[in-house]
Structure 1
Amino acid sequence: MNKNKKGFTLIEIIIALALISIISIYLLPSLFSIYENSRKIKDDSKILFTMQKVLEKSKNRDEGEYEDLENGFKINTSIESYKGNLKYIEVRCDKYNLEVVVKK
Structure 2
Amino acid sequence: MTTTLTLASGRGADGTARLAVGGEIDMSNADRLAEALDSRPGPLVVDLTEVAYLDSAGLSVLFARADRLELIVPPLLEPVLTVSGLAGLVPVHGSDTRNGLQD
- Between Structure 1 and Structure 2, the one with more helix by share is 1
Q: TM-score range by the shorter chain?
A: under 0.3
Instruction: Tell me the TM-score normalised to structure 1 length.
Output: 0.23
Higher relative contact order (CA 8 A, sep 6+): 2
